[in-house]
Amino acid sequence: MSGEIFLSASIPVKGRGDYYLTADPILIQSAVRAFAEIVLGRRRIVWGGHPTITPMLMEACSHLGVSYGDYVTLYQSEFFDQEYPEENAHFQNVVFTPKLAGDRDGSLALMRNQMLERPDLEAAVFIGGMAGVIDEADLFAKMHPGGQRLFIGSTGGAALECARMSGVSPDEEVSIDYFGIFYSGLDILPDEPRAMAGTKKSPSP
């Protein structure tokens, strides 16, 4: 297994911009599940823990027989220590970043910088989401100028906004062929072996 893939995804909610107006929660979940099925055990997945996404990845790990802690790395800011989803307890490789007292945005920025400075990140996938998706897309491009960025426009939210800004074609913007998008865009073959639970662990947390 070589390289790491960053996942930026969430289901937009009211009260945090207008991203919820274009978001399709069902397609967001479908895209995340397709991403997990293709990537888990083949590349390390790195993401910032979000209560709408972490349970889906945990379920996918269990379904596929992939060890939670060996092939995923979850980042979590201590600013949200009262809001961690209970699924966090199932992931051994959780990286907690310090909180800045009274500064939500600063705490998130610190977490994102530490998360995205990982040298082995080779691609990033953006699904649904709100303003944080845009921040992470810009930061990933800055830190990994040669890395692949996949904006899944059909899921709506910030990913749709990013897809339009990046100049994707109308067909790409509305495509729901998530398996095709991820196999092609992430350069993973359908028959690529998957490292299952109990196999050799990746060395990095």
CA dihedral sign of residues 177, 136, 147, 88: negative
- How much is the average pLDDT of 127-145? 95
* Res. 72: pLDDT tops 90: no
pTM: 0.88
CA-angle at 201, arms to 180 and 141, nearest 5°: 50
Residue with tokens 């083949």: 42
Q: Which residue has the higher pLDDT, 192 or 200?
A: 192
Question: What is the reported pLDDT for 205?
Answer: 47
4-185: CATH topology is: Rossmann fold (3.40.50)
Query: Is residue 45 over pLDDT 70?
Result: yes
For residue 201, name the pLDDT band (cuts at 50, 70, 90): very low
Assigned token pair, 194: 């998957």
Identity of the highest mean pLDDT range in 2-11, 39-48, 73-82, 146-155:
146-155
In terms of pLDDT, which residue wins out, 58 or 92?
Answer: 58
Which residue's structure tokens are 């269990």?
A: 62
Residue type, 180: G
- Report the alpha-carbon distance of residue 22 to residue 163 in Å, rounded: 13
The two structure tokens encoding residue 137:
């897309």
d(CA 158, CA 132): 8
Find the distance separating the first CA and the last CA of the chain, reported in whole Å: 14
- What is the SS3 assignment for 175? coil
pLDDT of residue 102: 73
Average the pLDDT over 63-87 and give the result. Answer: 75
Least confident among 33-37, 101-105, 147-151, 173-177:
101-105
Domain ranges of the chain: 4-185
Q: How far apart are CA 173 and CA 9, in angstroms?
A: 17
Q: At what angle do helices 25-39 and 54-64 cross, to 10 degrees?
A: 40
